[in-house]
């Protein structure tokens, strides 16, 4: 089909074709949201970089206690994602829900200055993750709805690259603050608060809202306004059922839909005036076989994906890295992620998102193997961190990109939330289990168990996600 489209000389000179050629390879809203994520990740990763060491060495938490907090850190976000995704679709204002999420996380940063017990820290981290849960699905929906389906991997790759630039700068900033400030941890938490507020300001000022996005769609796409009015004339339930039925017949999760399904280039919200999306319509997404497969496999693999904090603690102990250098470990992961996010996302668009997604988990398994069996050499930390960054480049943006051809536009945030929630809940369970296993058996047996589990789960996911007739 795509070869035929590219070889049609008559249509190439039409006005719509010329307008499509003039569109940027990445929608402006993706770049703005990437900037917001960059700023916000500087703030959050400043805290994430020092939090494991702060809790274990300064406050004296056991691995089980830290695993509990780390599980709360991921689990609360998972539970709230469904709420954020559905509300964003229901009120048709993804920016509002994303802004509330970013604002709540910013308010939690200064509370870390007064949190000294596991109960208080757990509450603060839970509120912070509530903000993350509220914003994740609406933000990704804005990216997805502003990008044609065949370019989803590139768009999410660009966003994740900018996000990761912030993740790279955050630990570096924390490292410099710890070196320069007398009360290093308090200074890190204070600066993190100021940076988080800046991210909220950029979102409010520069991300187009619902009405502005609708006007941009009408201005950029001829006939868009008339088409939107015609669509809203029918019932929402009928439209949703039709879209779900079409998606259920799709046989390949990696194949992009036809160009007619691609949304407008500049908007992240549906035009106003459509009836609200009901909760039962969001639940009806679970009738889509490919969505169930993606959510199930994301959960299965998440059960054996050791959290970043534990990976860095394991590497620090394995390689004998000093405490003062610990905040730089996430920087190594971030650098590789930054360099590979866009090319790997584009590769996923070409060769298949399933293939790249599973390859990323194979790379993570190799990192586990190095932590378990590799000799203690100076090359060990960079090798492990490089593999860790490759894992994120192959999975973090590829998974939401795979939903473009599966979930209807009017339910995109809900679909993203379902998959994201399944993955986050599984990682919540993994954090609790890994912390308990480390406390009971030691770090080596705990990691070996996770590695064996990951190998088995990846094999199952490879079979479940394989489209009919695929041989690669």
Q: What is the pLDDT of residues 395-451, one digit of tens each?
A: 988 988 888 778 888 888 888 888 888 888 888 888 889 988 998 999 899 999 999
In the predicted structure, residue 223 carries a pLDDT above the cut 60? no
Q: Contact 446/115 with Cβ under 8 angstroms?
A: no
Correct CATH for 25-216+281-464 of 1.10.287.3510, 1.20.1250.20, 3.30.360.10, 3.30.70.1710: 1.20.1250.20
How is 205-222 classified by DSSP, letter by letter? HHS--HHHHHHHHHHHST
Q: Which of 468, 456, 429, 369 is nearest to 73 (CA)?
A: 429
Collect all residues with Cβ–Cβ distance below 8 Å to 468 and sequence separation of at least 6: 251, 252
Q: What is the pLDDT of residues 369-403, one digit of tens each?
A: 999 988 878 889 999 999 999 999 999 889 888 88
Lowest pLDDT segment from 90-99, 164-173, 298-307: 164-173
In angstroms and rounded to an integer, the radius of gyration of the C-alpha atoms of the chain is 22
In the predicted structure, residue 301 carries a pLDDT above the cut 70? yes
Q: What is the pLDDT of residue 200?
A: 94
Distance, CA of 236 to CA of 298 (rounded, Å)? 29
Question: What is the enclosing helix (H) or strand (E) of 370?
Answer: helix 353-373
Distance, CA of 210 to CA of 135 (rounded, Å)? 16
How is 25-57 classified by DSSP, letter by letter? SS-HHHHHHHHHHHHHHHHHHHHHHHHHHIIII
Q: What is the pLDDT of residue 455?
A: 95
Q: The tokens of 121 are what?
A: 């820290």
Q: What is the pLDDT of residue 2?
A: 32
Collect all residues with Cβ–Cβ distance below 8 Å to 182 and sequence separation of at least 6: none
In the predicted structure, residue 244 carries a pLDDT above the cut 90? no
Q: What is the pLDDT of residues 91-145, one digit of tens each?
A: 888 999 999 999 999 998 888 777 767 678 778 878 888 888 889 899 999 999 9
Q: Contact 427/77 with Cβ under 8 angstroms?
A: no
Residue ranges covered by each domain of the chain:
25-216+281-464
Q: What is the pLDDT of residue 317?
A: 87
Distance, CA of 446 to CA of 436 (rounded, Å)? 9
How is 243-259 classified by DSSP, letter by letter? HHHHHHT---SSS---G
Res. 50 pLDDT band, cuts 50 70 90: confident
Percent helix, strand and coil across the chain, each to the nearest 5: 80, 0, 20
Q: Contact 94/268 with Cβ under 8 angstroms?
A: yes
Q: Contact 363/412 with Cβ under 8 angstroms?
A: no
Put simply, whether the predicted model's pTM sits higher than 0.75 gets the answer no
74-to-80, 128, 129, 170 alpha-carbon distances in Å: 10, 10, 7, 19
Q: To which residue do tokens 């719509």 refer?
A: 16
15-to-12, 18, 28 alpha-carbon distances in Å: 8, 5, 22
């Amino acid at each position: 089909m795509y070869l035929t489209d590219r070889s049609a000389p008559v249509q190439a000179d039409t006005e719509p074709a010329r307008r499509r050629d003039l569109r940027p390879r990445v929608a402006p809203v993706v770049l703005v949201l990437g900037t917001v994520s960059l700023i916000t990740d500087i703030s959050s990763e400043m805290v994430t970089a020092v939090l494991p060491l702060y809790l274990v060495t300064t406050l004296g938490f056991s691995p089980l206690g830290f695993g509990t907090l780390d599980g709360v850190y991921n689990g609360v976000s998972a539970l709230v994602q469904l709420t954020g995704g559905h509300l964003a679709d229901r009120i048709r204002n993804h920016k509002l829900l994303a802004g509330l999420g970013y604002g709540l996380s910013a308010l939690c940063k200064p509370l870390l200055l007064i949190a000294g017990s596991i109960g208080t820290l757990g509450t603060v981290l839970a509120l912070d993750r509530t903000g993350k849960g509220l914003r994740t699905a609406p933000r990704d929906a804005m990216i997805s709805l502003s990008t044609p389906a065949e370019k989803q991997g590139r768009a999410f790759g660009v966003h994740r690259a900018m996000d990761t630039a912030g993740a790279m700068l955050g630990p570096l900033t924390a490292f410099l603050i710890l070196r320069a400030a007398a009360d290093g941890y308090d200074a890190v938490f204070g600066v993190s608060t100021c940076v988080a507020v800046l991210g909220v300001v950029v979102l409010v000022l520069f991300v187009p809202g619902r009405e502005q996005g609708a006007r941009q769609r009408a201005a950029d796409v001829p006939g868009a306004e008339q088409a939107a009015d015609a669509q809203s004339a029918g019932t929402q339930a009928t439209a949703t059922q039709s879209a779900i039925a079409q998606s259920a017949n799709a046989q390949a999760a990696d194949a992009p839909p036809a160009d007619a399904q691609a949304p407008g280039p500049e908007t992240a919200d549906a035009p106003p005036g459509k009836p609200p999306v009901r909760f039962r319509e969001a639940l009806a997404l679970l009738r889509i076989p490919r969505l169930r497969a993606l959510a199930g496999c994301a959960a299965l693999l998440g059960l054996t994906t050791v959290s970043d904090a534990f990976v860095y603690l394991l590497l620090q102990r394995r390689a004998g890295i000093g405490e003062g250098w610990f905040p730089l470990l996430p920087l190594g992961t971030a650098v590789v992620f930054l360099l590979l996010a866009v090319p790997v996302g584009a590769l996923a668009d070409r060769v298949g998102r399933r293939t790249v997604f599973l390859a990323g988990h194979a790379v993570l398994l190799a990192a586990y193997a190095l932590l378990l069996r590799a000799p203690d050499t100076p090359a060990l930390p960079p090798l492990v961190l490089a593999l860790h960054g490759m894992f994120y480049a192959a999975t973090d943006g590829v998974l939401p990109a795979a939903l473009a051809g599966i979930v209807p536009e009017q339910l995109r945030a809900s679909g993203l939330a379902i998959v994201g929630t399944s993955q986050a809940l599984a990682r919540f369970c993994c954090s609790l289990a890994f912390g308990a296993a480390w406390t009971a058996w030691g770090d080596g047996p705990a990691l070996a168990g996770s590695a064996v589990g990951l190998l088995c789960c990846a094999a199952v996911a490879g079979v479940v996600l394989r489209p009919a007739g695929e041989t690669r």
